[in-house]
Amino acid sequence: MPSLPEMNENSSVTSIDYAPSIHESPVRYFLRAFWRHRSAAIGSVIIILFILLAVFAPVITPYQYDQRSSALLASPSASHWFGTDDMGRDIFTRVIYGARISLQVGFFAIAGSIVIGSFLGLIAGYYGRWRDTIISRIFDILLAFPSILLAIAIVAILGPGLNNAMIAVAVINIPAFGRLMRSRVLSVKEEDFILAARAMGMKNSRILWKHILPNYWSPILVQGTLGFATAVIEAAALGFLGLGAQPPQPEWGTMLSDSREFIQLAPWTMIFPGLAIVCTVLGFNLLGDGLRDLFDPRMKE
């Protein structure tokens, strides 16, 4: 034995010493499980690909996104991989720049709804009573509207534009995170270790931050990833309706809407932005599902 347990001279208590356990670090264990999970791996590959495209857009693309050429509605070719639109702009370039916009909108909108939703849900769940009543009813009201209608209403009030579309998408996603947080807090708050923390004389705020919030990371990550997918769709829908990104910004929804007239004449003007939306959403959904499986201990074999 490497070290004998030290006996305290004035206590008769027996000391126990176990051999140090051999444990894989939790991060490495997670990464291993992650790569073995097919949909999580595929989803993350798709997302990373889109992120790379977005970041390196100026390097990858052969043209400017608003650069016009004389080739109007040209079909896909070596010089224009995805063809050109009615103003002779290169669709490949625009789709790639579109990834920037969509990922940005998704990220900021979801980050906003996570912060606001979690904060409200935390307050509602932990303090309960009248705070819970007020906050939960606000969530109910937000959820009573069809989400896209609510988004349209918000953009209508704030005025069309990419930033306002982002705010609208954030607002309509708040209740999802708020409710998730609230239900989580309600169950975690009954845990013995919360009572133990209170018995130790800890402040409510400290208990909320240190003991309740960290227990919420995994569901928030899952919901956030899945929410990212819907945010991309919602932003595209607003763009399609002319309420989101304004031309000449190369937003996927806006591009779809612009090419409606040419669906038969030049289908590539729709197919590629549409595919881009599908792939992004699919990527986030796959990743979200995968994360849910990985984080949920009941799903482990």
Partner 1 sequence: MAQPVLEIKHLKLHFFTDKGVVRAVDGLDLTVQKGEIVGLVGESGCGKSVTSLAIMGLVPKPPGKIVDGSIIFAGQDLTKLNNKQMRQLRGKEIAMIFQEPMTSLNPLFTIGNQLIEAIRTHEKISKKAARERALDILKKVGIAREGVLDEYPHQLSGGMRQRVMIAMAMVLRPRLLIADEPTTALDVTIQAQILDLMKSLNEEFGTSVLLITHDLGVVAEMCDRIIVMYEGQVAEEADQRRLFKNPAHPYTQGLLKSIPKLDEQKKRLYAIPGQVPSPFNLPAGCRFAPRCEFAMEICRKEEPEIVKVDEKHFSRCFLNQKEAIDHGAHERS
| Binding site residues, partner 1, CB under 8 A | 3, 5-6, 8, 10-18, 20-21, 23, 191-193, 195-203, 206, 210-211, 214-215
Count CB atoms within 10 A of the CB of residue 226.
20
Q: Which of 8, 264 has the CB closer to partner 1?
A: 8
CB of 300 to partner 1, least distance (A): 14
Among 144, 143, 232, 147, which residue's Cα sits nearest to residue 182? 143
Query: Tokens 């935390």 belong to which residue?
Result: 122
CB of 3 to partner 1, least distance (A): 8
Q: Which of 129, 159 has the CB closer to partner 1?
A: 129
What Cα–Cα distance (Å) separates residue 140 from each residue in 118, 129, 136, 176, 261? Answer: 16, 16, 6, 10, 39
Amino acid sitting at position 266: A
Q: Which of 13, 157 has the CB closer to partner 1?
A: 13
145: left (phi over 0), alpha (psi -120 to 50) or beta: beta
Q: Which of 128, 248 has the CB closer to partner 1?
A: 128
Query: In a 10 Å sphere around its CB, with 0-12 CB exposed, 13-18 middle and 19+ buried, how is residue 291 labelled?
Result: buried
List phi, psi (to 5°) of 110. -70, -40
CA–CA distance, 180 with 227 (Å, rounded to integer): 12
List phi, psi (to 5°) of 84. -130, 165
Tokens of 179: 């409710």
Q: Which of 9, 159 has the CB closer to partner 1?
A: 9
Terminal C-alpha separation, the chain: 36
Q: Are 252 and 277 in contact (CB under 8 A)?
A: yes
CB of 30 to partner 1, least distance (A): 14
CB of 113 to partner 1, least distance (A): 24
Q: Which of 195, 299 has the CB closer to partner 1?
A: 195
Among 234, 218, 128, which residue's Cα sits nearest to residue 180? 218
Q: Which of 18, 70 has the CB closer to partner 1?
A: 18
